């Protein structure tokens, strides 16, 4: 069918034509938004899930819902090796400048900007603090202690007070939160705790790989009182069918049940893969109904494309030692494995491969579903590895 009209969107963070199976978690987010706006206590969300399950897309949707409810929104992405101070100073600067109404200076907003100025003062050159300038004096005694927790709390509280003063609630959304260090995560949670206790209209939504829940729990024991940790997973058969069928019908075409079944079986309902298969099945289809044969052709095309890009770029970023570890893990099967079994499969002692495992976790390739266990963060990566291994 006409590629120009193809409704499917395989890609990172690009909205699907049909956001299937996420109504419940979206409803939780909306409840938090409505309550925070009214200065009421609300549990916010840290959305967890493997690669490509739709975390970024969901955060985008939450941001959209927030904006529709009068929120000022700011979405940032944490990066491996980047500093929390650097990330926050940019985000808070944009928020405070947006809250600033210029002429009719509101004192709380001015104060927020002065606290930000103090915060910048304590930022080291290596943290990138030099490239931001603000035309206000620092607020002496706030956000200038040089201690991360105290300073971040001062800055976030001052921003939240500014939001309250101009009656503009603020939603801060942070993606890839697993890249934030444990100390930094503790800091963020502490700051949100302070905002929450003061009943101020600022809310934080986060998203990250599954290990984020453990990191947050270890970071601050009260994390669970501040946040829900909904787990985004692959879609159920019914939701996966809707994700495929609705956009096709919307475009005036149709899809056979057998085609849906084939795609579900191949993708296991993982959102990113559903988009990829849907896209290829649409393109290969010669009539106006996607048939099982089209779905099978899409399987071949999709696997070739994924092996050449999605899986490949991740694999190519690894060191030889890390690749060996990934091979050993894949060789044991698709399920989470005991770390000790992986070491044994490599013919090595657990302690000698632990640094490799840790660097793979840090790179976001693996996670520990429970103590002593290890699994891939990228769905179907084990199958890619097995295809890869039979080639070498």
Site string for ligand ATP, 258-287 (x = CB under 6 A): -------------xx-xx------------
The residue count for binding Mg ion (CB under 5 A) is 2
Among 5, 12, 249, 349, binds ligand ATP (CB under 6 A): 12
275: contact with Mg ion by CB under 5 A: no
C-beta of 54 vs 138, nearer to ligand ATP? 54
C-beta of 19 vs 226, nearer to ligand ATP? 19
Residue 11: contacted member of Mg ion, ligand ATP, none (CB under 5 to 8 Å, by partner type): ligand ATP
- Helices and strands counted in the chain (H then E): 17, 10
C-beta of 6 vs 196, nearer to ligand ATP? 6
Q: Are strands 373-376 and 337-338 parallel, antiparallel or unpaired?
A: antiparallel
51: contact with ligand ATP by CB under 6 A: yes
C-beta of 186 vs 232, nearer to Mg ion? 232
Task: Please check whether residue 70 is in contact with residue 145, taking contact to mean a CB–CB distance below 8 angstroms.
Answer: no
Among 7, 10, 112, 201, binds ligand ATP (CB under 6 A): 10
Give the DSSP H or E segment for 219: helix 211-219
56: contact with Mg ion by CB under 5 A: yes
SS3 string, 291-333, reads: CHHHHHHHHHHHHHHHHHCHHHHHHHCCCHHHHHHHHHHHHHC
27: contact with ligand ATP by CB under 6 A: no
Residue least distant from Mg ion (Cβ): 56
Instruction: Give least dist CB 16 to ligand ATP, A.
Output: 3
Determine if residue 268 is left, alpha or beta; phi over 0 gives left, psi from -120 to 50 gives alpha, anything else beta.
Answer: left
d(CA 121, CA 59): 31
Contacts (CB under 6 A) with ligand ATP, residues 55-84: 55-57
Give the DSSP H or E segment for 282: helix 271-284
- The string over 239-253, giving b where at least 16 C-beta atoms fall within 10 Å of a residue's C-beta and e elsewhere, is bbbbbbbebbeebeb
Backbone angles phi and psi of 378, in degrees to 5: -100, 120
C-beta of 9 vs 28, nearer to ligand ATP? 9
**Piece of 14-22, 31-39, 80-88, 134-142 that binds ligand ATP (CB under 6 A):** 14-22
C-beta of 21 vs 138, nearer to ligand ATP? 21
List, in sequence order, every residue forming a beta bridge with 190; answer none if it has no partner: none
SS3 content of the chain, % helix, strand, coil (to 5): 60, 10, 30
**Piece of 16-24, 143-151, 318-326, 327-335 that binds ligand ATP (CB under 6 A):** 16-24
**Piece of 50-58, 162-170, 265-273, 371-379 that binds Mg ion (CB under 5 A):** 50-58
Looking at residue 73, the DSSP 8-state letter turns out to be E
Binding footprint of Mg ion on the chain (CB under 5 A): 55-56
User: Contact positions toward ligand ATP, by CB under 6 A?
Assistant: 9-16, 19-22, 49, 51-57, 243, 271-272, 274-275
């Amino acid at each position: 069918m006409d590629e120009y009209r193809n409704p499917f969107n395989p890609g990172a963070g690009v909205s699907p034509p049909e956001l299937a199976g996420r109504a419940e978690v979206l409803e939780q987010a909306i409840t938090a938004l409505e309550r925070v706006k009214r200065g009421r206590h609300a549990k916010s969300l840290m959305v967890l899930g493997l690669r490509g399950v739709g975390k970024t897309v969901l955060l985008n949707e939450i941001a959209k819902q927030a904006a529709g409810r009068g929120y000022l929104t700011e979405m940032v992405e944490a990066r491996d090796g980047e500093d929390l101070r650097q990330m926050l100073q940019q985000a808070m600067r944009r928020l405070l400048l947006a809250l600033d109404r210029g002429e009719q200076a509101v004192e709380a907003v001015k104060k927020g900007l002065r606290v930000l100025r103090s915060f910048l003062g304590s930022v080291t050159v290596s943290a990138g603090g030099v490239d931001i300038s603000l035309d206000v004096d620092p607020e002496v005694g706030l956000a200038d202690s040089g201690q991360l927790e105290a300073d971040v709390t001062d800055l976030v509280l001052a921003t939240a007070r500014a939001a309250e003063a101009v009656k503009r609630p603020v939603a801060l959304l942070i993606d890839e939160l697993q890249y934030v260090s444990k100390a930094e995560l503790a800091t963020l949670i502490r700051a949100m705790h302070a905002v929450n206790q003061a009943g101020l209209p600022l809310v934080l939504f986060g998203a990250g790989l599954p290990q984020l829940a453990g990191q947050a729990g270890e970071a601050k024991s009260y994390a669970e009182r501040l946040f829900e940790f909904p787990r985004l997973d692959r879609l159920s058969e019914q939701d996966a069918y809707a994700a495929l069928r609705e956009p096709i019908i919307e475009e005036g075409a149709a899809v056979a049940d057998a085609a849906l079944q084939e795609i579900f079986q191949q993708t296991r309902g993982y959102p990113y893969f559903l988009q990829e298969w849907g896209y290829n099945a649409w393109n290969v289809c010669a009539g106006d109904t996607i048939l099982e044969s089209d779905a099978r052709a899409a399987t071949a095309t999709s696997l070739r494309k994924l092996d050449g890009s999605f899986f490949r770029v991740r694999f190519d970023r690894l060191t030889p030692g890390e690749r060996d570890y990934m091979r050993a893990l894949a060789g044991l099967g698709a399920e989470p494995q005991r770390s000790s079994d992986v070491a044994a499969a490599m013919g090595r002692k657990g302690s000698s491969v632990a640094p490799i495992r840790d660097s793979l976790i840090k790179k976001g390739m693996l996670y520990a579903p429970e103590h002593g266990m290890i699994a891939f963060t990228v769905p179907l990566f084990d199958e890619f590895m097995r295809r890869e291994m039979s080639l070498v």
